[in-house]
Structure formats: C-alpha cells, structure tokens
Chain A
C-alpha cells in the first residue's frame, strides 16, 4: 500500500510540475484545476478505483479533496434528494476544511513571519 501511495501520489505531483513548467500555470490555478478535476473524475467514477488502489496516494493530493466533494454530493443526493447536492460535499470534507481554517488561522497568528533577508 505504501509503494502504491508513493507511486500514485508522486505521479500526480509530477503531472502538476509538468503543468507548471510547460504551461506556466500559477500554483493557484493548479490547485483549482486539481480540485475541479477531482470532482469531475469522481463524478465519472474514475477516481474511486484509484482511491481503493492507492489509498493516501490518491486522497492526499488535492484531487482527492475534489473526489471526496463529488462523492459526498452524490451520496447526499441518494440520502436527502436535491438538498443533498448542497449538503453532501461539505459534509464529507468537513474535517479537512475546518482543520484548514482552524490550524491555518492559529499558525498564522502564533508564528512570527521571518524577515526576508
């Protein structure tokens, strides 16, 4: 599992690097592209098998965040009807989003920015 995680995670990052080098996309656009790509691949059912196969290799890259959003929305619809489309995505990713807000804020306030030399 660790080898698969390494390979898949590595390849997803290498593709990102190629996109940066070849297309001069900014990191912000890469991240947005990866999340949206993950949502689309998740919706098409293509990303789920990759998660099954590679575990964290597929879930730790931001595409996995997109996959979790899409899966959550689809599962939400199955459970709550159209309301689920608005509830499922964020419910499935609540831990990561809340951690990002909470730890992001905390670390920004606690640490002093290093003066650039």
Chain B
C-alpha cells in the first residue's frame, strides 16, 4: 500500500461517492421541506392567534376577523422586511416564508427598497408591484371570470 490504491479500494470509493450523490440532495430536500412546513405552520398559528385575539378583544365577526388578520399579517411581513429580519427567516424557511400572506408583503417591500434610488414614483411606487402586481392581476382577473361564470350559471337556474 505505498500510496497507490488497490482496485478494490477505488471501487469502494466510487461506490461511496455514488451513494453520497444519491443521498445528499434527498436529505437536503427533506430538510428544506421540513423547514418550510414548520415555518409555514408557525406563521399560520400566529395568524390564528391574531384572529382569535381580534374576535375576543375587538368583538370581530368571522369575516371581519379574517380581514383584521390579513391586515396585521401584512403589516408584520412588511415591517420585518424593512428591519431586514424577514429575509433572514426566509433563508431557513424557504417557501414557508413565501406562501403565507406575510411573504406577499415581503415581496412588495423588498422590491421597493431595492429600487428606492430610482425615486419615490417610478422607484418605490412602481417597483413595489414587481411580484405583487402579477399576483393581483391573476388573482383578481380569475375571480372576475369565476364571478361571470357564477352569473351565467345563475341565469339558467
């Protein structure tokens, strides 16, 4: 064994590397998915707590409570993004920080801050909708289609 590897050693080494390749991405993937699950779940629990507090202390009904929850969560997402904290959470949470409505607020503030030097109108005012804009376009657009279909269906009832 004077520094040379036997064919058996090389074989084991190659099989080991193949195994590493096979398992590493899966492991990383499982970790990412778990983290997204935990963070996303935690953010929703926070939302549930905000909703319950709104019902208990502000006497809100269900519909108003969900508007209240949306407003508070959007505020938190925007505020934490401004402080630079939301992006730190995002590094761990992945989709867990993107999918909740706090992520919608984050997409607005982080885009707007990035383009602030282009001015308050075409910088902040326009760029804040780089991601939020398409969300509103497709969300509101498809809701109009749904509404019109509901109207047509209603005509034939």
Q: Is A46 in contact with chain B by the CB < 8 A criterion?
A: no
Contact of B42 among A6, A65, A110 (CB under 8 A): A6
Majority secondary structure, B binding face: helix
The reply to whether B151 and A14 contact each other, CB–CB distance below 8 Å, is: no
Count how many pairs of residues, one from A and one from B, have CB atoms less than 8 Å apart in the complex: 285
In the complex, chain B residues 29-73 whose Cβ is within 8 Å of any chain A Cβ: 29, 32-45, 47-52, 66-71, 73
Contact of B66 among A7, A11, A59 (CB under 8 A): A59
Q: Is B154 in contact with chain A by the CB < 8 A criterion?
A: yes
Segment touching A, from B1-9, B10-18, B128-136: B128-136
Chain B: number of interface residues, binned into ranges: 35 or more
Chain A residues, Cβ within 8 Å of B79: 103, 107
The reply to whether B44 and A89 contact each other, CB–CB distance below 8 Å, is: no
The reply to whether B109 and A108 contact each other, CB–CB distance below 8 Å, is: yes
Chain A residues, Cβ within 8 Å of B151: 77, 81-82, 84-85
Interface size on A, residues (CB 8 A): 81
Nearest A residue to B137, CB-CB = A32
With A14-B37, A89-B144 already in contact, the answer to whether A35 and B100 are too (CB < 8 A) is no
Report the bound CA distance from A115 to B73 in whole Å.
Answer: 26
Nearest A residue to B80, CB-CB = A107
Contact of A13 among B50, B51, B99, B112 (CB under 8 A): B99
Q: Is B156 in contact with chain A by the CB < 8 A criterion?
A: no
Contact of A9 among B32, B41, B94, B134 (CB under 8 A): B41
Report the bound CA distance from A81 to B82 in whole Å.
Answer: 42
Chain A residues, Cβ within 8 Å of B83: 111
- 5 A–B contact pairs at CB < 8 A? A31-B134, A56-B45, A59-B66, A74-B150, A103-B75
Q: Which 8 A-B pairs have the closest CB atoms?
A: A13-B40, A9-B44, A85-B147, A10-B41, A73-B147, A16-B95, A108-B112, A111-B82
